[in-house]
Amino acid sequence: MSATSEPDDRSAGDVNRTQEAILAAYAELIEELGTDDVSFRLIARRAGVGERTIFRNYATRVDLLLAVAAWIERRIFPRQDSPSIFDMPLTIRAAMESYDHRPELAHVVAETTMRGISGATPSPRRAMLEEMIDAEVPSLGDAERRAIVAALAHLDSAATWVTFRREFGMTRSDIADAAAWAAEAVLDPIRSRVG
């Protein structure tokens, strides 16, 4: 699943081997138990480290949860590098499908981005979107540029999958279609202004 060429765009990539083992073990347990409320003891045993090693790396439960959310988003739900902002509907479609394959992990990612400044960053790909839009549609005014980047960042997230599933009871393909459709709608007004 992680066959993406990975530019070092996320600081969350800086995990050492011990942290990697801890986070992988924690993610595994979240899926098995259906909750992120997993004891440090259980995580330590699964990771093959001592409980104190976890505390040394992640002083609090919240630190550990935010670290695992970033790890999950990067490792389990990586995005393909898209060369064009107009590929975002496809990127979003693929992301929705991968969230749907790992629902427990998708919920963890969604929830940790909704905690404000003390949580996980809610729009990790904002800079990439801005670069693409500036390169392809340089004539956009500030307000319009910002609105499009913000709307695409919002759609390209686990919360989209959560909301479409929860509020509308949509299936995997319905969610993927609807999210991709929404991204197309957001991009429609700038299609003719490329270059």
Binding interface with another protein (CB under 8 A): 34-35, 37, 61-62, 103-104, 107, 110-111, 113-119, 121-123, 126, 143-144, 146-147, 150-151, 153-155, 157-160, 162-170, 174, 177-178, 181-182, 185-186, 188-189
Q: Which is nearer to another protein, 118 or 192 (CB)?
A: 118
Indicate the helix (H) or strand (E) that contains 25.
helix 17-33
CB atoms within 10 A of CB 131: 11
Q: Which is nearer to another protein, 25 or 69 (CB)?
A: 69
Which residue type occupies 179? A
Which one, 27 or 182, has the nearer CB to another protein?
182
Name the residue nearer to another protein (CB basis): 14 or 167: 167
Q: In the Cβ-directed half-sphere of 32, how many Cα atoms lie within 13 Å?
A: 10
Q: Minimum distance from CB of 3 to another protein (Å)?
A: 27
Min dist. Cβ of residue 114 to another protein (A): 4
Q: How many CA atoms lie within 13 A of 80 on its CB side?
A: 14
Which pair of structure tokens corresponds to residue 95? 């992301």
Nearest to 172 by CA among 184, 160, 155, 188: 160
Min dist CB 165 to another protein, Å, is 8
User: Shortest gap between Cβ of 153 and another protein (angstroms)?
Assistant: 7
Min. distance of Cβ 102 from another protein in angstroms?
12
Residue 36: which H helix or E strand, with range?
A: none
Identify which of residues 49 and 125 has a Cβ nearer to another protein in the complex: 125
Give the list of residues 6+ apart from residue 57 with CB closer than 8 angstroms, or none.
Answer: 18, 19, 22
